[in-house]
Amino acid sequence: MALDPPTPTSPEPILSPATIAVTAGRPAHVPDAPLNTPITMASTYVAGGDLEYGRYGNPTWTALEEAIGALEGGRCLTFSSGLAAVSTVLDLVGNGAKVVAPRGAYNGTIMQLADLESRGRIRAELVDITDTEAVVAACDDAALVWLESPTNPGLELADIPTIRAAAHEAGAYVVVDNTFATPLLQTPLADDVDLVVHSATKFLAGHSDVLLGAICTRDDELFAVLKGRRDLLGAVPGTLEAWLVLRGLRTLHLRVERAQANAQELVRRLGEHPAVGEVRYPGFGAIVSIVLAQGAMAADLLTHKTKLWVHATSLGGVESTFERRRRWKTESATVPEGLVRLSVGVEDVEDLWNDLRVALDGCVG
């Protein structure tokens, strides 16, 4: 009896990031299965499986890690906060080794580098990330090159492919903090960087109600090392926090699309206001920095004169927030005194502009 030829299998469709954000990390589509991954509140598991104990894993973490990893194009580990993720990466740097990082970067990262250097653990070289030639030169004896693109709060862009190539030639690992861009606007792992870090507290969660960090990589060996460090040091996410970030992730594409559209319109109008001496915007994303023409006093005045815009230090939520960054004593001296970082939300852009314009009118010298 003749056998029928095998039916060719169709390749898996390549999904857009918007679809991945909605579908990744879901339970299997079987009868009576929940659409959403449940919150698994467990510190102890029956012996004989892979979990064993609550510090080693949780089904709710796993669902979130599958979703973030799918968006970034790698494997993901989640942590108790963005800074916990940062410290886990920096912990891998050998004693006395050099770390290259932007001189104007996230304050928490710079403070961790300064703390490690003060204790003789590492050598930190802070560079102008826009000076690609200088960054490449700094890579020569580095163990780790830390990039932000855009930087926080200066919104400077790094030439990631060129710097990555130079760092790898020198034998250094490359990390990109992708918090501002999100994997919807930039996927550094596709440029062959080694690690991507997120403060998932910000855009990924998107509702100003959770602390959580994430690290993504395509390197299975590096993943195993990082997993081992998380297991040992215990910087694990809370189960409820992981569930909240996963829920927030489902609307990431909608939030980023709306917030970015608002930001681009505000950038156009801010550039024409006499109180604004400089507008910094990389051309994408929902973070805008402005430098007030009258300096620090005008910037402080602005952040206390609005009704819709909220004076707050975090970012990436559905609500619009802003702050003068140099009010923090540990902020980089490269940040202008009059710089105000705006995290543009999803409100009506006309309402946002009217509120901001009235406050800016009071800052004209």
**Which residues are designated catalytic?**
55, 106, 177, 202
Pairing of strands 195-199, 173-177: parallel
Whole-angstrom distance, CA of residue 89 vs CA of residue 96: 15
Nearest to 281 by CA among 270, 294, 292, 297: 270
CA dist 362 → 71, 132, 187, 192 (Å): 43, 39, 41, 48
Parallel/antiparallel/unpaired status of strands 75-79 and 321-324: unpaired
Strands 287-292 and 339-343: antiparallel
State the number of CA atoms in the 13 A half-sphere of 27 facing the CB. 12
